[in-house]
Structure 1
Amino acid sequence: MNKTVLGPWLRRPVVRPEARLRLVCFPHAGGAASSFRPWQRLLPDEVEHVTVQYPGREDRFADGPVDSMDVLVRDVVDALQPLLDRPCALFGHSMGSAVAYEVAQELRRRGLGAPVRLLAAGRASPHHAAVGDIHQQDDSALVGELARYGGTPQEVLADPELRAAILGYVRSDYRLIETYRPSSAEPLDCPVSVFFGSRDPECGPRDAETWAGTTRHPLTVTPFDGGHFFLVPQRTPLTEAIARDLGLDLRRPARTWPSTP
């Protein structure tokens, strides 16, 4: 198996054969695997982290985007099966939190076991999240939505070719999450953690608390200073909070890593 590219769906920046568990990360709408690459130098050695690479972007630019949650979840779980030789946790940001939730449900439906924990950020639970219609609106509305959250550099949106390429898969992602209807399933058997930014227009304290209905365990909620993309400026404390909720040792040996974008 390729050490870093695990087929079309999964990316693994660092192989850690002795890791106790795997952390599988699901990006936001319009997001890509590279956004989680810096986590490789922040997570404890006990964690091997893997990120889902949605089609239509980065090294999957030539692959047609998937705009159906059912299809996406089926293909992701197919890809994850060879990695279930050790416990796994699932982390999703925004749209990715809904994908992670449905992956956990699909793992149970297939009898593949529950993740050790579901970790969600930046969105209310699937049964309580607001549903919009941005995918049906024109490009200016979509650009306005991206600007509202502040996750896409303005210089990128100002370039006509880059803008066209990005809006293609962003619209597909919005279609996926805006047409998605969550599973009417029993609460998960694993604990759930929720993280949110104090100035996030998408997910405030009450939205975070809605995840309580998705688990049989007490909910863990952690706020951070920032907006919807608090994950970037709060990267270090967030990965520390994830390690804490996973019951891992936060002490890290000194490492020298090449710089990552």
Structure 2
Amino acid sequence: MFCLPFAGGNKYSFGEYERFAPEFVEVIPVELPGRGSRADEALLTNIYDLAEDVFFSIKNKLDKPYILYGHSMGGLLAYLTAKLIIKNFSSEPLHMFITGCTAPSTRDKSYLHLLSKEDFIKKLKELGGCPEEILNNGDILDFFEPIIKADFQAVESFEYQQTTPFDIPLTLMFGMSEKVTQSEMREWQKETTRSIDIIQMPGDHFFINQFGFQIIKVIARKISNQLQKL
């Protein structure tokens, strides 16, 4: 299971998933440029460049059944990465799991990355999910703010173009307190010929922080059923 992070996230964002995953699911967090073990690399501010980076990071590991998982920005990255994989290989993902990410065709154009640092931090507090110890610590914030802002810029560079739908099972999860509607999530059906499964969970946009076990349980159940049919 290749895990793609939310804006500002890194490979350590998926510790709960690694902890709870059953033995038959190998959790592989994907590290993006400019953070963690790749902190010395330049940040990418274009979502298509990020998707290419993910593709080149995992392309040599697609020789056995695999799935893509992404939260928020990671969900959009999973979608774009799957397109690159299908374009270049015949090895499609067994399943795609996306949390906290509206359908590509419903994304509103925004320019949050152009906000001043003060207004950008204020917006992050409104969105939630960023620990208070980061938001209230100037030194730590000086380190993370460029990373988060670059990721916002990358997401905001996305331009939707309708293409041939996937033939891949797609499971979507979102929080009850997110500013997202069922109809917006149902628009994901445009992107696959399979019936999508939408699961609503308690919490806000970062419900993944409280419900990692439940999310992995859903993933493991669905993947187990699919593997038995192979």
TM-score between the two structures when normalised by the length of structure 2: 0.93
Greater relative contact order, per chain length (Cα 8 Å cut-off, separation 6+): 2
Q: More displaced, 64-73 or 186-195?
A: 64-73
1:211 is the counterpart of 2:192 = no
1:153 is the counterpart of 2:138 = no
| Residues 192 and 217 in structure 1, CA contact (< 8 A), matched pair in contact too | yes
Match of 2:204 among 213, 227, 230: 227
Equivalent residues, number: 226
The Cα of 1:50 is off from its aligned counterpart by 0.7
| Residues 16 and 213 in structure 2, CA contact (< 8 A), matched pair in contact too | no
Matching of residues 52-91 of structure 1 within 5 Å? 52-91=30-69
SS for the counterpart of 1:90 is strand
The Cα of 1:248 is off from its aligned counterpart by 4.9
The Cα of 1:104 is off from its aligned counterpart by 0.5
Match of 2:2 among 18, 24, 39: 24
Partner of 1:94: 72
The Cα of 1:206 is off from its aligned counterpart by 2.3
Unaligned stretches of 5+ in structure 2?
A: none
The residue type equivalent to 1:30 in the other structure is G
The residue type equivalent to 1:150 in the other structure is G
| Residues 125 and 208 in structure 1, CA contact (< 8 A), matched pair in contact too | yes
Comparing both structures, which one devotes a greater share of its residues to helix? Answer: 2
The residue type equivalent to 1:241 in the other structure is V
CA distance in 1: counterparts of 2:120 and 2:49, whole angstroms: 24
SS for the counterpart of 1:188 is coil
Partner of 1:194: 172
1:40 is the counterpart of 2:18 = yes
Unaligned stretches of 5+ in structure 1?
A: 1-22, 250-261
CA distance in 1: counterparts of 2:69 and 2:93, whole angstroms: 10
CA distance in 1: counterparts of 2:34 and 2:126, whole angstroms: 23
The Cα of 1:60 is off from its aligned counterpart by 2.2
Q: How many percent of aligned residue pairs carry the same amino acid? A: 25
The Cα of 1:59 is off from its aligned counterpart by 2.5
| Residues 102 and 183 in structure 1, CA contact (< 8 A), matched pair in contact too | no
- CA RMSD for the aligned pairs? 1.5
The Cα of 1:178 is off from its aligned counterpart by 0.4
Match of 1:121 among 95, 99, 102: 99
